[in-house]
C-alpha cells in the first residue's frame, strides 16, 4: 500500500516536472518571437500591406536626438515611416538603418516624408548616442528623426499603438550574439492623418519595393 502511494506520488512529481519544463519552453518560445510577431490575428504578410487602415497612432511625446520634444502633432500632415531599433543591436538594426538611408536618398525631394526611428533601449541610447549613430548613416536631421524617452512609454507605443513586439531580454536568456532587446524588423507606414496604412518587412527586398510604391501613392494624394 505504502509502495503504491510512493509510486503515485513519484509519478505525479515526474509529470509535474515535465509539465513545468514544457510550459517554460513554451514561454521562452513566445518571448523569443515577441520581437518578430505582429499582433494582427494571423493575417498573411501581404495582408498587412496595400494601404489598408490598421488603426491610428495615439498622441505621444518623445525626445529627438536634438533634445527637442517630438509629438504626434509634429508629424500630422506628413507621410512617415516608423521603425524600432537600438544602437548596439547585432541583428536587423544595421539592415533597417541602411534601408532607411536608402529611403531618405530615394525620396530626397519629397518634403512631406519623414523617417522615424525609435530606440527600444532608451537607457543606453541617449540623444548623444543616437546623434552619433545617426551620423554613421548620414541621417538628415530635418527628415530622419531618432527618438528616445521613457522605456515604458516607448514599449506601450510599440506594443499597443503599432502592435509590434518590443522587450528587453532577461540577462540569463541573452544570446551569444550580444542582443539585449527584441523588436520587430517591420517598417510601419503612417499617413498624413496619423493612420497606420501598412507593415513591411525591412529585410525583404520585394516588400521594400512595395513600400516605395505605397509611399508614392500616399505622397501623391497631397
Range of the domain at 120: 45-220
Domain-located, residue 37: no
Q: What is the pLDDT of residues 152-188, one digit of tens each?
A: 999 999 999 999 998 888 888 878 788 888 889 999 9
Domain-located, residue 36: no
Domain-located, residue 206: yes
Q: For the chain, what is the domain count?
A: 1
Nearest 10 degrees: Cα torsion 164, 170, 171, 174: -50
Domain-located, residue 152: yes
Asked if residue 50 has pLDDT above 90, the reply is: no
Whole-prediction pTM: 0.79
> Do the Cβ atoms of 154 and 119 come closer than 8 Å?
yes
Nearest 10 degrees: Cα torsion 99, 105, 106, 109: 140
Q: What is the pLDDT of residues 95-132, one digit of tens each?
A: 999 999 999 999 999 999 999 999 999 999 999 999 99
Asked if residue 69 has pLDDT above 90, the reply is: yes
Domain-located, residue 214: yes
Domain-located, residue 72: yes
We report the CATH number of the domain holding residue 176 as: 3.40.30.10
Domain-located, residue 22: no
Domain-located, residue 174: yes
Amino acid at each position: 500500500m505504502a509502495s503504491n502511494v510512493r509510486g503515485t506520488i513519484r509519478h505525479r512529481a515526474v509529470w509535474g516536472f515535465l509539465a513545468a519544463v514544457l510550459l517554460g519552453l513554451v514561454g521562452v518560445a513566445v518571448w523569443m518571437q515577441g520581437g518578430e510577431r505582429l499582433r494582427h490575428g494571423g493575417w498573411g504578410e501581404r495582408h498587412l500591406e496595400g494601404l489598408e487602415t490598421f488603426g491610428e497612432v495615439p498622441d505621444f511625446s518623445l525626445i529627438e536626438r536634438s533634445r527637442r520634444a517630438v509629438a504626434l502633432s509634429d508629424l500630422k500632415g506628413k507621410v512617415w515611416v516608423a521603425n524600432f531599433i537600438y544602437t548596439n543591436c547585432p541583428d536587423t538594426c544595421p539592415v533597417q538603418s541602411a534601408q532607411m538611408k536608402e529611403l531618405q536618398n530615394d525620396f530626397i525631394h519629397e518634403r512631406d516624408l519623414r523617417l522615424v526611428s525609435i530606440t527600444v533601449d532608451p537607457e543606453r541610447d541617449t540623444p548623444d548616442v543616437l546623434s552619433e549613430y545617426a551620423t554613421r548613416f548620414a541621417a538628415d536631421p530635418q527628415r530622419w528623426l531618432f527618438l528616445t524617452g521613457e522605456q515604458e512609454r516607448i514599449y506601450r507605443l510599440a506594443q499597443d499603438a503599432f502592435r509590434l513586439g518590443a522587450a528587453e531580454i532577461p540577462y540569463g536568456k541573452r544570446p551569444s550574439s550580444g542582443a539585449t532587446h527584441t523588436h520587430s524588423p517591420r517598417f510601419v507606414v503612417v499617413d498624413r492623418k496619423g493612420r497606420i496604412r501598412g507593415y513591411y518587412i525591412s529585410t525583404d527586398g520585394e516588400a521594400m519595393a512595395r513600400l516605395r510604391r505605397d509611399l508614392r501613392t500616399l505622397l501623391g494624394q497631397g
